[in-house]
């Protein structure tokens, strides 16, 4: 199936590795061009090279907590590639721990980067999009079911899904789509860290896999392909939804 991605241009945050990078790879493989960002300059440079260099990708070093980052990405996309068709907005997870254990400072830092940073990026990108544009927010299955030991994420991600739904209602009449993507257990550096922090990492992974109907941890590329489809013209009638990419782990219908 032709996803209609040829020569389309997308901004992706948190995309020098993990789910964002996997999505950038899927987009570029189908003919799109990308502007990626993350906080690590070396990783951004390496990611751009892997994605095919300046003809296919450019990179920016920055943090979503920086108020000007989203506009910089929008401006660079237009300057370098002459258009903007959408964005995948992703940010690293907050520190583990229960909601009650988290300090005020941890909550504030997470809110500034994860919640406000994603909200700001989404509305900045949306302002630059026309009919056919699409925005994907990388959230978590904690939107629908809290994850033990990730209290801050459990607190913030559902609110972001509600915000995305509200934006989908607002931007829909302009032909701009907004989708929440809910990754489950996928073997990113973040999940490696969470498994590694367990008293018995192998047992923790085995327990996680036992709760997934497909009985395995997902690969980032599997998420990337779903995200690329959701952002593409082929998904033109999808908006306002929260789409799990979790091997069937979530139980709600």
- Alpha-carbon dihedral of residues 14, 17, 23, 29, nearest 10 degrees? 130
Domains, the chain, ordered by start: 9-186+220-244 (3.40.50.720)
Q: In whole angstroms, what is the distance from residue 122 CA to residue 168 CA? A: 11
Question: What is the chain's alpha carbon radius of gyration, rounded to the nearest angstrom?
Answer: 17
pLDDT value of residue 242: 98
- Tokens coding 40: 């690590």
The whole-model pTM stands at 0.95
Whole-number pLDDT of residue 55:
96
Helix (H), strand (E), coil (C) string for the chain: CCCCCCCCEEEECCCCCHHHHHHHHHHHHCCCEEEEEECCHHHHHHHHHHCCCCCCEEEEECCCCCCCHHHHHHHHHHHHHCCCCEEEECCCCCCCECCCCCCHHHHHHHHHHHHHHHHHHHHHHHHHCCCCCEEEEECCHHHCCCCCCEHHHHHHHHHHHHHHHHHHHHHHHHCCEEEEEEECCECCHHHHHHHHCCCCHHHHHHHHHHCCCCCCCECHHHHHHHHHHHHCHHHCCCCCCEEEECCCCCCCC
Name the stretches of the chain with pLDDT < 50. Answer: none
| pLDDT value of residue 204 | 87
Residue 46 has a pLDDT of 97
For position 198, what pLDDT does the model report?
Answer: 85
Contact residues for 163 (Cβ-Cβ < 8 A; gap 6+): 119, 122
**What integer pLDDT is reported at residue 196 of this predicted model?**
85
pLDDT of residue 54: 95
Q: What is the pLDDT of residues 71-92, one digit of tens each?
A: 999 999 999 999 999 999 999 8
* Residue whose tokens read 């300046």: 54
At 129 the pLDDT is 98
């Amino acid at each position: 199936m032709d996803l209609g991605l040829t020569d389309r241009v997308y901004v992706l945050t948190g995309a020098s590795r993990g789910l964002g990078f996997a999505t950038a790879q899927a987009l570029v493989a189908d003919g799109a061009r990308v502007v990626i960002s993350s906080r690590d300059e070396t990783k951004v440079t390496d990611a751009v090279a892997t994605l095919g260099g300046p003809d296919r990708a450019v990179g920016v070093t920055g943090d979503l907590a920086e108020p000007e980052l989203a506009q910089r990405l929008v401006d660079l996309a237009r300057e370098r590639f002459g258009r903007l068709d959408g964005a995948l907005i992703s940010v690293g997870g907050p520190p583990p721990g229960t909601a009650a254990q988290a300090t005020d400072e941890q909550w504030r830092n997470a809110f500034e980067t994860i919640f406000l940073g994603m909200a700001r990026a989404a509305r900045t990108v949306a302002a630059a999009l026309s009919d056919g544009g699409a925005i994907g927010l990388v959230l978590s299955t904690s939107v629908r079911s809290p994850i033990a030991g990730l209290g801050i994420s459990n607190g913030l991600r559902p609110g972001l899904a509600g915000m995305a739904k509200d934006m989908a209602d607002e931007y829909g009449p302009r032909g701009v789509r907004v989708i929440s993507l809910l990754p489950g257990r996928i073997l990113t550096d973040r999940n490696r860290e969470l498994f590694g922090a367990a008293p018995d990492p192998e047992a923790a992974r085995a327990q996680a896999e036992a709760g997934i109907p497909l009985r395995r941890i997902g690969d980032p590329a599997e998420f990337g392909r779903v995200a690329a489809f959701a952002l593409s013209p082929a998904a033109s009638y999808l908006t306002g939804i929260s789409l799990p990419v979790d091997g069937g782990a979530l139980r709600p219908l």
